[in-house]
């Protein structure tokens, strides 16, 4: 169960990185035009 | 004179001297309120982490872990890490574009509404004062138990230090002192953990000793100690996930966090600071909670769990390191206090008095800071010290009130000033009344009826009904539209490319945290059992 909790927590933070990377890429593409 | 007291006294004198030096260089009101909007990434990171981490972490959280609640704290600490990551990208940079001085002023501009501005200022001032009081009590308790100097003297010295520092130097001094204090307490948390792990016989040996720890069963397992809070591991896990979301929300929109973005020199500094603050928030607390749980291996009989790291500093660490370590805890408490106090002063002058004259405004802010310092001193002396639950009360009321309105202020086209007002008011009253009911009746509420979630639900209903009954005005539409126009000065292809890399860096942070938790917690626990 510790392994599941570790994976859940790690993915929680990883997901935030993925979301802001997509968001920043979209925004900067639009804003630099 | 006691060497620990001497160390803390010298550090407090240094902070006041820093305040005097920075105060002499203040140019105008903008410098006092928002550090001239010119702070580099590093100062924003230092201030975000230092404002968030206080004695609650070094004493409250550490005590919980020593007593058997490590896994729950691990969940909360990791989950809340995303607060500044989302906060900077989805709220902070839009907040900075508004060129407001305070968050309530931002709400006032966005909804073209004085009542919304004043209500948010009142909620912020009250909740930050409560939070400030709990931090002050924590630092006072720390100083008293280490030095044996009477509580009244300790608390007076502490309040004088952070009040003077804030009055003299405003936000500029607070940013600089926060960053200095962040450097002290984060480095000492790592050094402290190293010394405690060494004394406990090594990382894997310490975890192995705690897997079948008879005195506190479950102290290092995912279930936690089942005699501590909820009787099953799953209930403890669900509670911790709930509070991970709560503290993540606080790290995202609370004024002592998001107001830092108003001081950044540009939007790129905002986004970069969000990612780097996540690193600081996670690792400092990770070091603190593991250091606390490992003390069980060395001494399982500490009577007051919240004193665990103080005991370690004075009994395990070499004296010099111990002195710097407790100075670091003191710094964590003072840095949070200066941020709260400067925000209270700014909100009082800018949002409640609405001073048009800059000089008068700064003078009233300074008077307010002095008055709140005195009130907090009086309350801290008359109230018994209590850290953990009081701390949750102040911050959760604010998060319940602001969270949905803050997000909707940027991302909703339909929210109106009436919806924002009722969302804030009901969120605040809902959280406060649920907490009051729970405390007065001694009822233990299930996680889905936790004061924060109850308040957020009422806030949602307030926004929904208030916005449904009124129409969005042209002023509100144009105020929102202006948030989505990136200033010309920010459009720099090279800077954008660097900032995008911080998003990728955050993905690596997530993977690093996964690896750290598996290798340093899950695997040794599995092999130790």
What does each of the 529 residues of chain B score in pLDDT, given as a tens digit?
688 899 999 999 999 999 999 989 888 888 888 888 889 999 999 999 988 888 888 888 999 999 989 999 999 999 999 999 999 999 999 999 998 999 999 999 999 999 999 999 999 998 888 888 888 888 888 888 888 889 999 999 999 999 999 999 888 888 888 898 889 889 999 998 999 999 999 999 899 888 888 888 888 889 888 777 778 888 889 889 988 998 999 899 888 888 999 999 999 999 999 999 999 999 999 999 999 999 999 999 898 888 999 999 989 999 999 888 888 888 888 888 898 999 999 999 999 998 888 889 999 999 999 999 999 898 888 865 554 455 556 778 888 999 999 999 999 999 999 999 999 999 999 998 888 887 777 777 777 778 888 999 999 999 999 999 999 999 999 999 999 988 888 888 888 899 999 999 999 999 999 999 999 999 998 887 5
- Asked if A28 and B499 come within 8 Å (Cβ–Cβ), the reply is yes
Per-residue pLDDT at B389: 53
CA distance B115 to B442: 35
Q: What are phi and psi of B241, to 5 degrees?
A: -60, -45
- Asked if A5 and B526 come within 8 Å (Cβ–Cβ), the reply is no
Q: What are phi and psi of B356, to 5 degrees?
A: -85, -35
CA torsion angle for B325, B327, B331, B337 (degrees, to 10)? 130
- Asked if B510 and A3 come within 8 Å (Cβ–Cβ), the reply is no
Residues 13-32 of A with CB under 8 A from B: 13-25, 27-28, 31-32
Per-residue pLDDT at B156: 94
CA distance B85 to B88: 6
pTM of the predicted model as reported, rounded to 2 decimal places: 0.91
> Which residue on chain B is closest to A4 by alpha carbon?
B522
Per-residue pLDDT at B529: 57
Pair of tokens at residue B173: 């001094």
- Asked if A18 and B507 come within 8 Å (Cβ–Cβ), the reply is yes
- Asked if A13 and B78 come within 8 Å (Cβ–Cβ), the reply is yes
Give, to the nearest 10 degrees, the angle between helix B319-346 and helix B41-52.
Answer: 100
**Chain A contact set for B508 (CB, 8 A):** 17
CA distance B483 to B253: 17
Pair of tokens at residue B273: 């600071």
User: Which of A13, A19, A31 faces B513 most closely, judged by CB atoms?
Assistant: A13
**Chain A contact set for B72 (CB, 8 A):** none
CA distance B479 to B410: 10
CA distance B124 to B130: 10
Residues 6+ apart with CB under 8 A from B32: B26, B170, B171, B172, B362, B365
The secondary element (H helix, E strand) that includes residue B336 is helix B319-346
Helices marked H in B383-490 — which ranges? 388-411, 417-441, 451-469, 474-483
Residue A6 has pLDDT above 60, yes or no: yes
Q: What are phi and psi of B486, to 5 degrees?
A: -75, 125
B159 contacts B402 by C-beta, under 8 angstroms:
no
Local structure of B414: helix, strand or coil: coil
**C-beta neighbour count of B301 within 10 angstroms:** 6
**Chain A contact set for B86 (CB, 8 A):** 16, 19-20
**Chain A contact set for B507 (CB, 8 A):** 14, 17-18, 21
Handedness of CA B24, B28, B29, B30 (dihedral sign): negative
**Chain A contact set for B274 (CB, 8 A):** 20
**Chain B contact set for A6 (CB, 8 A):** 514, 517-518, 521-522
For residue B77, the distance in angstroms to the closest alpha carbon of chain A comes to: 10
For residue B47, the distance in angstroms to the closest alpha carbon of chain A comes to: 21
For residue B41, the distance in angstroms to the closest alpha carbon of chain A comes to: 17
Per-residue pLDDT at B467: 95
Per-residue pLDDT at B387: 46
Pair of tokens at residue B70: 């490590």
CA distance B298 to B197: 10
- Asked if B510 and A13 come within 8 Å (Cβ–Cβ), the reply is yes
For residue A5, the distance in angstroms to the closest alpha carbon of chain B comes to: 8
Per-residue pLDDT at B141: 86
User: Which of A9, A18, A27 faces B513 most closely, judged by CB atoms?
Assistant: A9
Tell me how long chain B is.
529
B171 contacts B34 by C-beta, under 8 angstroms:
yes
Hunting for tokens 């209903």 — which residue is that?
Answer: B461
Pair of tokens at residue B425: 């008011």
- Asked if A17 and B508 come within 8 Å (Cβ–Cβ), the reply is yes
CA torsion angle for B442, B448, B452, B455 (degrees, to 10)? -100
> Which residue on chain A is closest to B514 by alpha carbon?
A10
For residue B501, the distance in angstroms to the closest alpha carbon of chain A comes to: 8
Q: Which of B517, B523, B524 to mutate to test the interface with A (most CBs of A within 10 A)?
A: B517
For residue B492, the distance in angstroms to the closest alpha carbon of chain A comes to: 8
- Asked if B85 and A16 come within 8 Å (Cβ–Cβ), the reply is yes
> In the beta sheet, which residues pair with residue B39?
B264
B97 contacts B367 by C-beta, under 8 angstroms:
no
Q: Which of B496, B499, B512, B515 to mutate to test the interface with A (most CBs of A within 10 A)?
A: B496
Going from the C-alpha of B452 to that of each of B147, B410, B429, the distances in angstroms are 37, 22, 11
């Amino acid at each position: 169960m510790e392994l599941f909790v570790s994976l859940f927590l790690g993915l929680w933070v990883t997901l935030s990185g993925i979301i802001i990377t997509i968001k920043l890429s979209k925004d900067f593409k639009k804003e630099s035009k | 004179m006691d060497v620990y007291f001497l160390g803390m006294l010298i550090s407090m004198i240094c902070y006041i001297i820093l305040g005097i030096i920075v105060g002499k260089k203040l140019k105008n009101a903008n410098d006092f309120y928002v550090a001239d909007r010119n702070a580099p990434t590093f100062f924003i990171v230092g201030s975000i982490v230092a404002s968030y981490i206080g004695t609650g972490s070094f004493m409250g959280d550490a005590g919980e872990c020593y007593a058997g609640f490590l896994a729950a704290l691990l969940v909360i600490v990791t989950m809340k890490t995303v607060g500044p990551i989302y906060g900077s990208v989805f709220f902070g940079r839009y907040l900075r574009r508004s060129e407001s001085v305070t968050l309530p002023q931002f709400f006032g501009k966005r909804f073209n509404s004085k009542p919304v501005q004043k209500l948010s200022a009142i909620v912020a001032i009250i909740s930050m004062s409560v939070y400030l009081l709990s931090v002050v009590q924590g630092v006072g308790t720390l100083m008293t138990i280490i030095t044996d100097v009477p509580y009244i003297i300790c608390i007076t010295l502490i309040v004088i230090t952070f009040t003077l520092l804030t009055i003299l130097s405003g936000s500029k001094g607070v940013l600089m002192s926060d960053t200095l204090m962040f450097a002290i307490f984060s480095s000492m948390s790592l050094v402290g953990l190293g010394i405690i792990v060494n004394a406990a016989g090594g990382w894997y040996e310490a975890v192995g000793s705690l897997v079948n720890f008879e005195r506190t069963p479950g102290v290092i397992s995912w279930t936690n100690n089942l005699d501590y809070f909820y009787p099953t591991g799953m209930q403890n896990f669900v509670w911790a996930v709930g509070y991970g979301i709560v503290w993540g929300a606080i790290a995202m929109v609370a004024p002592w966090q998001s107001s830092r973005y108003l001081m950044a020199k540009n939007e790129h500094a905002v986004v970069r600071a969000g990612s780097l603050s996540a690193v600081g928030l996670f690792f400092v607390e990770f070091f603190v909670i593991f250091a606390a749980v490992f003390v069980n291996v060395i001494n399982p009989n500490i009577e007051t769990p919240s004193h665990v790291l103080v005991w370690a500093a004075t009994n395990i660490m070499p004296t010099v390191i111990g002195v710097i370590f407790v100075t670091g805890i003191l710094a964590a408490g003072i840095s949070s206090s200066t941020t709260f106090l400067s925000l209270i002063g700014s909100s009082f002058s800018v949002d409640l008095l609405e001073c048009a004259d800059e000089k008068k405004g700064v003078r009233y802010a300074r008077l307010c800071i002095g008055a709140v310092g005195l009130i907090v001193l009086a309350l801290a002396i008359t109230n018994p010290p209590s850290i953990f639950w009081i701390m949750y009360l102040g911050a959760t009321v604010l998060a319940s009130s602001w969270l949905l309105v803050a997000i909707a202020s940027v991302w909703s086209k339909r929210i109106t000033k009436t919806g924002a007002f009722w969302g804030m008011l009901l969120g605040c009253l809902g959280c406060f009344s649920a907490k009051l009911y729970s405390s007065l009746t001694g009822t233990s509420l299930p996680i889905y009826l936790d004061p924060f979630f109850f308040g957020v639900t009422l806030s949602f209903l307030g926004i929904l009904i208030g916005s449904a009954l009124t129409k969005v005005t042209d002023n509100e539409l144009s105020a929102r539209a202006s948030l989505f126009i990136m200033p010309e000065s920010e459009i720099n292809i090279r800077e954008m490319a660097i900032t995008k890399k911080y998003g990728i860096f955050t993905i690596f942070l997530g993977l690093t945290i996964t690896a750290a938790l598996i290798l340093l917690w899950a695997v040794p626990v599995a092999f130790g059992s």
